[in-house]
Structure formats: C-alpha cells, structure tokens
Amino acid sequence: MTDEILKTTPLNAAHRALGARMVGFGGYDMPVQYEGVLAEHRWTREHAGLFDVSHMGQCRITGEDATAQFERFVPGDYAVLKAGRQKYSLLLNAEGGIMDDLMAGRPDHDGLYVVVNAGNKDADFAFLKANLAGDAKLTVLSDRALIAIQGPEAAEVMAAHEPVLAEFGFMDCARLVLFGVDCFVSRSGYTGEDGYEISVPNADAERIWNTLLKDARVKPIGLGARDSLRLEAGLPLHGHDIDPSTSPVEGALTFALSKSRKERADFNGADRILKELADGPSRVRVGLSVKEGAPAREGAEIADMDGTVIGNVTSGGPSPTLGRNIAMGYVPPEFAELGTDLKVIVRGKPAAAEVVAMPFVAQRYYRKPKA
C-alpha cells in the first residue's frame, strides 16, 4: 500500500453506493469486487457484466497527417481502416518493445479514437504528443468516462436502448447519440465475451451506469473478475504479460502486425521484429494448464522436466470457468509446442503443467454473417 493520492472516476460514488471493495489500480481508486470475484466472473460469462473502465486513457488523433504519423509507432495498417472499424495494436518503442497495447478506430471521419491502458496513459500521451509530426494533433478526452458491458446478454441489453448496436460486428465502432448524449461505442472488450465499450461524457456517466444496472440481466463487475476473465480469454495485461522489453513476436501478438506494414518495414523497431519473425524469438508467451497444486502466479518459475528453469509465469490463477489453474508465461520456443510437459515452481514445489492453446476459454465475439 502506498500513500499516493488516488484519482477517482466519475462513477466512484456509484461504486461506493453499491458496496464495492475499492483498491488502488493504475493511480485510480477502483472497485475490485462487489459481491465477490467468482460470482461476478460467472455472471459475466452467463449474463451481462458492467465495468467501469474510466481509468483508461481516451484520446483523439486528428489532422491530415494523423494516420501516417500514428503508424510510425504502431505496426497496424490504419491507412486502410474504414470508418466504423477499429483495430487492436501496439505502441512500439525504437527497440520494437511494447510500450502499451491499445485500441484505435475510426468512429467517424475525424481521425482516430484511441484507448490506452490506465497505468501508461500519461506516458503514452506525452510520447505521442512529443513525436507526432506534421499537423497530427492529439487531444486527451479527459471529459469522458468509459463503461464496458460484456457477456452473452450484453447485445440484447444494449439493443433495447439503441437497436442499431445489434447490427454491429466485433470491432465495429461508431460515434452516435446514446442515452441522449454524444458517445463513442465499439463492439469489443477485454473478457472474451461479446459486448461493447461505451465512451460517455463524465457528467452523464452515473446516470447511464445506473440506467444499465436497472436491467436484471446486468450486474456491476470489479477489476478482480475483469482480470480472471481476460486471463481465461488469453488476453495479455500490459506491465505483466507484455512490457517495453517484449516484442510483438515474443508476446505472441503477431496478428497485430499488418502484412503491408511488415512489407514496408516502416514502424518503430521493425528491424528487430522482422528478424524475430524470420529467425524466431528467444522466448515466447505461452498458455499453461497447471495440473496440480496451488495457482501459479506472476513470478513463479517455469522449469523443464529436468528441473532447469527456462522462464517465468507472467500471470496466472484459478479459472472459474474451467475449474483448474491456468497461467501464461514465457519459455524458449523449443518448449512452446502445444502439449509440452513442463513444471511450474510455486513456493519451492514443482507442479506439473502443460503448454496449451490460448484462449483457455473460447472467445464468443459476435461476427456478422458474410453477406
């Protein structure tokens, strides 16, 4: 525990009214749980969970040069991204390390709308402001809160408020009037479930939050379940599973490297990243099923069957959906093949583990049927 003064989101009073247990996260006073992590996790997988993610950073990057300038620091092809679509990407340093992971989209025709991680947002925005050239301009949307609704019933809940949202496919986004106010909406999230992230004006956040909670299918979900949900979905958490020392290849995020960008090799760290793609990285992020004993958490060593330490767990814990312990961590590529038997060492005790495919729990994103 530190004595730092925590910032609050516009929903802080609402969390306290709901009896949330609050913790410091990313510099903010945030709800870690309401009724309990396991119950909230299961509710999200079965119904619809409501998350306050207003601590995350939201910005616009606008101007004629916005896309070209943004692309210098991310390996995604944003020049061809159509209005109404968003894309996951990585903010890369000069060494090809991952400064942050982010979502960037075109909700309208006014440049990009970008969402970054809470703990990195000040650094990200400062970096981009210092480095975006030409007429590209970054505007931080500190006047906006961000609410996520996730789960198999999320689409029905939102369609009752705005029918057009049901027609969105995964990663579609828009700027539209919702709950009577100007919102940015995308069909995406961080749980592996179908759902939406909704950027709303700070002044309207509590009203919208409470409106959504009136629906019996919706319950508030804290950061505890958000973490176990994203772990099951195989999604990395920046600062833990990926960081400025890890490359997209090591992080098993090569899907974020657009073909055209690899061909042009014109993004930060392209030399290292293309070399790793050709020759293989020295380590790679894998999923582990821990078959016995205690949960293997961040920092636990991973050993081969001879007991030689070959890597570390970067996040792990119990999977409420699977009823067993899962983890992700880094190992040399020769140990990364699915089915490889390994050991994880928890409090000095080796426990059997196996390399398994991620996501651990199938993602259920809504993909529109092909016309």
Q: Least distance to another protein from the beta carbon of 54, Å? A: 21
Residue 254 carries which side chain, given as an amino acid letter?
A: T
Do strands 324-331 and 284-290 pair parallel, antiparallel, or not at all (unpaired)?
antiparallel
Q: Least distance to another protein from the beta carbon of 228, Å? A: 6
Find the part of the chain contacting another protein (CB under 8 A) among 121-129, 262-270, 294-302, 354-362. Answer: 294-302
**18 in contact with another protein (CB under 8 A):** no
Find the part of the chain contacting another protein (CB under 8 A) among 65-73, 153-161, 223-231, 257-265. Answer: 223-231
Could you say which of 320, 330, 355, 361 contacts another protein (CB under 8 A)? 320
Integer-rounded Cα radius of gyration of the chain: 20
Q: Least distance to another protein from the beta carbon of 300, Å? A: 10
Among residues 15, 17, 14, 9, the alpha carbon closest in space to that of 32 is found at: 15
CB nearer to another protein: give 324 or 367.
324
Q: Least distance to another protein from the beta carbon of 297, Å? A: 7
Q: How far apart are CA 317 and CA 360, in angstroms?
A: 12
Q: With residue 203 as reference, give the H or E element that holds it.
A: helix 202-213
Which stretches of the chain are assigned E, i.e. beta strand?
A: 21-25, 28-33, 48-52, 57-62, 86-92, 98-105, 112-116, 137-140, 144-150, 173-178, 181-186, 195-201, 218-220, 284-290, 301-303, 309-319, 324-331, 341-346, 349-356
Find the part of the chain contacting another protein (CB under 8 A) among 133-141, 167-175, 220-228, 337-345. Answer: 220-228
CB atoms within 10 A of CB 334: 11
Q: Least distance to another protein from the beta carbon of 39, Å? A: 8
Find the part of the chain contacting another protein (CB under 8 A) among 163-171, 271-279, 315-323, 335-343. Answer: 315-323
- x-marked contacts with another protein along 37-66 as a string, rule CB under 8 A: xxx-x-------------------------
CB nearer to another protein: give 41 or 60.
41
CB atoms within 10 A of CB 130: 9
Q: Which two tokens stand for residue 283?
A: 């380590």
**221 in contact with another protein (CB under 8 A):** no
Angle (nearest 5°) at CA 182 between 176 and 186: 50
Interacting residue ranges for another protein, rule: CB under 8 A: 21, 32-33, 36-39, 41, 224, 227-228, 294-295, 297, 317-318, 320, 347
